Structures are given as C-alpha cells and as structure tokens.
Amino acid sequence: MGRVNTYLNFQGQTEAAFTFYASVFGTEPTALTRFADMPAIGPSELPADERQLVLHAELPILGGHLLMASDMLRSLGHETRIGNNTTLCLDADTRGEADRLYGALSEGGSEGSPMADMPWGAYWGVVLDRFGIRWMVNHTPAG
C-alpha cells in the first residue's frame, strides 16, 4: 500500500536534526546513508567536507509516519531555503502510479527532476506544483 512521508532538506545539519528528533519522539533512525556510501555519486567527486554528509535518513515518528531527510550540497549549488526545505514524499505502489501522480502534479507546475531510475534502486522524481508545493514521487520495486 502506498504511503505519504515528509522529506526535509538541511544544509549539513541532517544528522544533528535527526539526533534531536529521535530524542523528541523516542525512536531511532531506521536508515542513515552518507554521500560517501554511494559509489554512483562517488565520494571522490565531492569535496572532502561533503563526503560524510547525509544522503538519506529515515526516522519513524507518530502513527507510522516516516520523517526522511538529506543534506543539500553547496558544491552542486544547493542552498536550503523556505520552499525547498520540506517536501511531501509519495511512495507509490507501482511505476505506473508514480508516473500518473507525477504527471498530474506537474500540470501547471514546474518540473524539478523528471521521473527516472536512480542508482539506489528507486524510480524517482520531484516536481513543484502550480501552488508552490514540492512533491517527491517514488516507487521502489519489491526485491
């Protein structure tokens, strides 16, 4: 069954934020991947101070809701600001449903990253809808 999660972007503070949120909610992160852990991104391609930043973190909070996050990379021109720091993440059951959701949310909006197969195994894209809300659409095949 599909689900909706909240995705947060930080400027090098994901690990500290998730340590704090874990203490607030009394839970532990279920995932923490660093940029250096992803060979497709290549730690040698990133400045040394960004290699240990968080590529992806997950923390269960209330009622089965999952808080997810990553650090934005200054070396790639990423800057955290109001408008790109919070995203609703739709985890679709099928690739077709992911395409449908992305297409519908794109109508009148601006495309951020088109749906594509990602090195971490997901089919993924991001769009800013016509109302200025960021949506991440994701489908991870069962495996």
Rounded distance, CA 69 to CA 13, Å? 10
Residue pair 83/126 in contact by the 8 Å Cβ criterion = no
Residue written as tokens 């972007």? 9
pLDDT digits (tens, 9 = 90+) for 107-138: 999 878 999 999 888 999 999 888 788 899 99
Structure tokens at 137: 């659409």
- Domains recognised in the chain with CATH numbers: 7-72 (3.10.180.10)
pLDDT beyond 60 at 8: yes
| Angle subtended at Cα 15 by Cα 73 and Cα 19, rounded to the nearest 5 degrees | 160
Report pLDDT for 98: 96
Report pLDDT for 44: 63
pLDDT digits (tens, 9 = 90+) for 15-42: 999 999 999 999 999 999 999 888 765 5
Its pTM stands at 0.74
